[in-house]
Amino acid sequence: MKNLYLTTILVLTILSCEKENEKSGTIISGKINSTDSGTVYLNEVNHFDNLNENYTIDSTSISKNGEFKFKKHNLNSKLVSISTRKFKPFTYHIYSSAPQTYFFGNCEKFFTSIPTFYISNEERININWTETKSIDSISSPDNTGILQVQLRDFYLNSNKIDRSKLDYDVKLDYKTNWEQMLIEKEFDLKTIELNNIKTENSFDNYLYSEIYLGHLNKYLNWFEKNFPKVVESSIKNPESEKFYLDIFQVYNKHKWNSKSLEYYKFTERYVNYNMNILSKSFENYYKSTQDKIKMAEIVLSGKNKERYLNLIDKRIKNVL
């Protein structure tokens, strides 16, 4: 009798878990205009795993009137894209073959040429999608995809020079440009609900990571190019020349969203900065070696340490 009771409890528990699994997940659907394709692909984009060839999550057919609907998938805290052609995510194409280009410019077209979503806890995302040869457009008539429309608008506006007082093409005093960058960073962050950035995988923290670290990466590109003597001095005497050091200390002051491209770039930059301190000379990038693994083991921590070490290990094995 006791065994029968325990068996019943076990069965009920399993059924309960199965029902819970059925409820969890996100369904992406929509209607696409102006396409000659009969299929839509759902791809995961994980910049820390850019050597992964298994990036396609699912595919689904497009009806005669342009409607499509994917099965329910657990997409929580994932960056995904949808496309009518099966191809690698843009960052995979670049960083898998040329990781040394990680610090190059703003990459807003990676996220606007095809629909790209950062999914937090949405049960359903429904969009109208117009495919073009350059930048696709999306809307969400029922507002289930309103956050994704906001995300696309953010990337579309992220590199508009006319809204900035910073002139990175002119060699101004680097501290003057730093102060102006801080003002513009805070202005851009006004769109973020700051109470939500404490949750690492929240939509707001994803945008926060892109904006905050995006400003730092762009400034550092300009600073390192135009003030090599200051950079060299800061590397040789980091404690006495603290301006450069203080920028990198930001890395450990917040739980950045791991799906952020700017976080990936700043992580690579942070490891390379520490390699520069050790060698007392400046390089934008160090190839994947055992020395780089040892440095990452020292300066990184938590899940991000594991993600980065796995990537470097794969790069070394690919070369061998």
Predicted pLDDT of residue 169: 67
Per-residue pLDDT of the chain (320 residues; tens, 9 = 90+): 545 554 555 544 544 444 444 558 999 999 998 778 899 999 999 999 999 999 999 999 999 999 999 999 999 999 999 999 988 998 898 999 999 998 886 667 788 889 999 999 899 999 999 988 888 899 999 999 999 999 999 998 876 644 556 666 666 789 999 999 999 999 999 989 999 999 999 999 999 999 999 999 999 999 999 999 999 999 999 988 899 999 999 999 999 999 999 999 999 999 999 999 999 999 999 999 999 999 999 999 989 899 999 999 999 998 75
Quick one: DSSP state of residue 26? B
* Residue with tokens 């976080």, as numbered in its chain: 263
For the chain, where are the E strands, in sequence order?
A: 27-33, 39-44, 56-61, 67-69, 78-83, 116-119, 124-130, 137-139
Measured CA to CA in angstroms, residue 255 lies from 43, 161, 197, 204 at distances of 25, 29, 9, 12
- What is the per-residue DSSP string for 270-285? HHHHHHHHHHTS--S-
Specify the pTM. Answer: 0.89
pLDDT value for 26: 96
Pair of tokens at residue 162? 């006319």
Burial of 205 (0-12, 13-18, 19+ CB in 10 A): buried
Q: Please give the Cα distance from 26 to 237 (Å, whole number).
A: 51
**Which domains are present in the chain?**
25-157 (2.60.40.1120), 161-286 (no CATH)
